[in-house]
Amino acid sequence: MDSGIVFNVQRYSLHDGPGIRTTVFLKGCPARCWWCHNPESQTSSPQTAWSQNRCISCDACLLACHEGLQPREACRACGDCAEACPTGARELLGSEMTAEQVLHNILKDRMFFEDSGGGATFSGGEPLCQPAFLKTLLNACRAQGIHTAVDTAALCPTETLLDLAPLVDLFLFDLKCASDTLHHQGTGVGNGLILDNLEQLGRVHRNIWIRIPVVPGFNDTTEEMEALAGLAARAAGVRQVWLLPYHGSWTAKPARLGKESAAEAVAARTPARETMEDFARLFTARGLDTQIGGGA
């Protein structure tokens, strides 16, 4: 597949693997985590967003819409309204990009990758929802000698994951909780496939970093963290564990998409440093190289 739906290409990323990285966010995800800090990544096709605080009510967007539509009603995501908007209040989130276009963006920072030990990270959404496009991108990076990381919750068929594994230098493997019931409550999907994929991936790949968002009101209990530490310790191929404290800086985003933030997300507070350190000790006690990250 030579093209796919991308919603952002972020240069100079420092939290998506080693060194300075360019992170390519692919659109589409089967989960609906209530703490998702990229809600614009969830649907697989492009969509429009509107920020009330940037809007000056000039109506340029309505005049630009060929369909004569109120934005968001029967919108075909052509982006004309966003292009006409003088303030950036109206945005098109996601667009079709060719692999060549994405690679062109990645190669702009090759020099920084070489100096810092960085590379390209493919994230989302769930990047494995566009497996053929992702494979093309991974092959293109490999041909250029660019280090690759894939940030995934492994919500995909096992064959898809194993097919791509030889092209990936580093997996950033998201684990959310050990309990299937809790996982269902928090994300809308169970974790059976994810845990099975972690086990299968560990048999063939030797560079997996597990990333766990620590989310108040969801998984911030000693019991859950103990269970996650046990899962991480049993899996093969795990080189590091990252605990990522929840932060609510994204909670204005759903309003731009015409949705409400989950009440839990608004109420949740960033876990205290001491809490994060206590949780980290549960992992280091099992011999896991454990870091506390910048946030989830």
Which chain residues interact with ligand SF4 by CB under 6 A? Answer: 48, 50, 55-61, 64-65, 67, 69, 71, 75-81, 84-85, 87, 89-90
Query: CA 96 to CA 45: how far, in whole Å?
Result: 9
**DSSP alpha helix (H) spans, 144-178:** 158-164
Give the three-class secondary structure for 250. coil
Both structure tokens of 147 = 């280090």
Q: Which is nearer to ligand SF4, 49 or 149 (CB)?
A: 49
Q: Which is nearer to ligand SF4, 97 or 120 (CB)?
A: 97
Query: CA 17 to CA 170: how far, in whole Å?
Result: 8
Q: Which is nearer to ligand SF4, 55 or 193 (CB)?
A: 55
Which residue, among 155, 277, 283, has the nearest Cα to 210 in the 3D structure?
283
Pairing of strands 290-292, 238-245: parallel
Closest approach of ligand SF4 to the CB of residue 29, in Å? 22
Closest approach of ligand SF4 to the CB of residue 62, in Å? 7
Q: Which is nearer to ligand SF4, 90 or 183 (CB)?
A: 90
Query: CA 47 to CA 291: how far, in whole Å?
Result: 36
Closest approach of ligand SF4 to the CB of residue 50, in Å? 6
Contact 275, 292 (CB under 8 A): no
Closest approach of ligand SF4 to the CB of residue 73, in Å? 8
Closest approach of ligand SF4 to the CB of residue 28, in Å? 18
Contact 98, 3 (CB under 8 A): yes
Angle between helices 99-107 and 131-143 (to 10 degrees): 40
* Four-CA torsion 274, 277, 279, 283, nearest 10 degrees: -170
Q: Which is nearer to ligand SF4, 57 or 249 (CB)?
A: 57
Q: Which is nearer to ligand SF4, 45 or 144 (CB)?
A: 45
Write the DSSP symbol of residue 183: H
Closest approach of ligand SF4 to the CB of residue 39, in Å? 18
